[in-house]
Amino acid sequence: MKRLVLKSFGMRGFAIEVLSLFFILIFSYSLISITSSVAYAPFYIAEAGGGGELLYSSSSTLVYTGLVPSSLYTYLLNVTGGQGISPEVSVPILIDGKAVLARGIEVGRFVNCTDLKVIEGGLNLSNGGALVGERVADGFKLKVGDQFTALSAMSNRSLTFFVVGIISGSAVSDEVLISIDDARYLRGINDEMLSYIRVCSRSPEVMNAIGEIGNSSQEREGISVPSWLLSLASRFSVSSTLSGYSTRISKNIEEAERVTLIASLSVSVALSSILAFSLSGASISSSSSAIKALRDMGMRKRDVLKSVAVEKSIAFSSSLILSIASYLLMEKMGIIYAYVLEHRIPPSLSWIDAMIYTIAVFSIYIAISLRRAEVILNEI
């Protein structure tokens, strides 16, 4: 049956159809992947390759632009001894007029929660020292011992730093790491605030301490922790409750992510549908003589339509295999990525979204092809 169908409709036309569908699918998969990467970027940047969970302000649309009380960090230190906890202050800065994200850290705690590697120099951030990510160093031609001025993008303040080390890591390669006090100064906040707290430990003591935060409605050892100020987010999932405290992602982030993904899928499906409509029309029109020939050979109308459906299914399946293999190859080679705050965000294709898109486009393509073939058969 397969040979009869391919012979009837022509191998050349079949190859052109497979390649056309391939370009439609690979473009859409890449678009969905890049959109998902942008939606996930705030968490990717904040996590700095350390995974775990983030305690951040639910009032901010971005993880790294919000503020949480330092008293929360102090409370966690008292309860857990600081095991697997990293306090951080993020602030966009300008170096020679170009935006870069600076991250204020406590070196010892940060290193324990991050995949940071020192390429050159050391980790001493005292007296105006700065650790520069390798891609930032390459972009600004910076090396250990060099001096640069950072102008805050969130306050009318600036500081001069000396490069004490060149570092690499999933996110920190695109950042400048400075002391937490210097970051607070550039951000324009005092020592009572942090941007967020990373929790990379899953120990019972740490998780129990976080759970108690949700139930903290009164002062505990002189530390007031307002539960409404916080949201808790894991890398790919969101807990629904944590000791009675709702841990939903910031409403703004959640809505923005949903809208972005839906928009991406809609654009991909709409564009692919238009292309599929044109492609199926051209394909069926070029195969009209073959369709008529099958009908003249005595094949029933239903069988002719079945042959068309089989041929289109084979073409779509072939292009689907090629597009998935090509996407995985491009992902492995680092060809697909997104830029957010100069961070190179890796692709984040949701295969569930991809499956929904593929089924939608396949259904549209088959439906249009059968409709066009039926019109030709009715003209005979």
Which comes out higher in pLDDT, residue 117 or 233?
117
Mean pLDDT confidence for 263-272: 63
SS3 38: helix
Is residue 221's pLDDT more than 80? no
Whole-angstrom Cα distance, residue 338 to residue 34? 6
Whole-angstrom Cα distance, residue 333 to residue 14? 30
Residue 197: exposure state from Cβ atoms within 10 A (0-12, 13-18, ≥19): buried
Mean pLDDT confidence for 15-36: 81
Q: Which pLDDT score is estimated for 102?
A: 95
Q: Which pLDDT score is estimated for 231?
A: 41
Q: Which pLDDT score is estimated for 210?
A: 67
> Which alpha helices (DSSP H) does the chain contain, by range?
2-9, 11-47, 70-80, 107-112, 134-140, 180-187, 204-214, 251-286, 288-296, 301-333, 351-379
Which comes out higher in pLDDT, residue 373 or 1?
373
Whole-angstrom Cα distance, residue 157 to residue 348? 36
Q: Which pLDDT score is estimated for 2?
A: 42
Mean pLDDT confidence for 278-287: 56
Which comes out higher in pLDDT, residue 246 or 18?
18
* Cβ-contact 192, 71 below 8 angstroms: yes
Is residue 184's pLDDT more than 80? yes
Whole-angstrom Cα distance, residue 164 to residue 131? 6
Chain-centroid distance, C-alpha 335: 15
Residue 44 confidence class, pLDDT cut points 50, 70, 90 = confident
Chain-centroid distance, C-alpha 289: 48
Whole-angstrom Cα distance, residue 162 to residue 76? 32
Residue 216 confidence class, pLDDT cut points 50, 70, 90 = very low
Residue 288 confidence class, pLDDT cut points 50, 70, 90 = low
Q: Which pLDDT score is estimated for 146?
A: 96
Q: Which pLDDT score is estimated for 134?
A: 95
C-alpha distances (whole Å) from 317 to each of 124, 266, 322 are 56, 22, 9
Q: Which pLDDT score is estimated for 173?
A: 92
**Range in 13-22, 65-74, 202-211 the model is least confident about:** 202-211
Q: Which pLDDT score is estimated for 296?
A: 62
User: What's the length of the chain?
Assistant: 380
Q: Residues of the chain with pLDDT > 70: what percent?
A: 67
Q: Which pLDDT score is estimated for 53?
A: 74
Is residue 282's pLDDT more than 60? no
C-alpha distances (whole Å) from 8 to each of 85, 291, 355 are 67, 8, 31
Whole-angstrom Cα distance, residue 184 to residue 191? 7
Mean pLDDT, all residues of the chain: 75
Q: Which pLDDT score is estimated for 238?
A: 27
Residue 226 confidence class, pLDDT cut points 50, 70, 90 = very low
Residues with Cβ within 8 Å of 187's Cβ and at least 6 positions away in sequence, in order, are 89, 90, 91, 104, 152, 154, 155, 195
Q: Which pLDDT score is estimated for 372?
A: 75
| Cβ atoms within 10 Å of 261's Cβ, excluding its own | 17
| DSSP state for residue 61 in the 8-state scheme | S
Is residue 261's pLDDT more than 70? no
Which comes out higher in pLDDT, residue 174 or 310?
174
Q: Degrees (nearest 5) of the Cα angle 273, 277, 278?
A: 120
SS3 67: coil
SS3 337: coil
* Listed ranges 57-66, 99-108, 310-319; the one with the highest mean pLDDT: 99-108
Mean pLDDT confidence for 287-304: 66
Mean pLDDT confidence for 270-287: 60
Mean pLDDT confidence for 233-245: 28
Q: Which pLDDT score is estimated for 9?
A: 47
Whole-angstrom Cα distance, residue 19 to residue 279? 11
Residue 244 confidence class, pLDDT cut points 50, 70, 90 = very low
Residues with Cβ within 8 Å of 34's Cβ and at least 6 positions away in sequence, in order, are 336, 337, 338, 347
Q: Which pLDDT score is estimated for 254?
A: 44
Phi-psi region of 23 (alpha: psi -120 to 50; beta: other; left: phi over 0): alpha
pLDDT in tens, 342-367: 788 887 777 787 888 788 888 888 88
| Cβ atoms within 10 Å of 342's Cβ, excluding its own | 16
Is residue 188's pLDDT more than 50? yes
Q: Which pLDDT score is estimated for 289?
A: 61
Mean pLDDT confidence for 294-302: 68
> How much is the pTM?
0.67
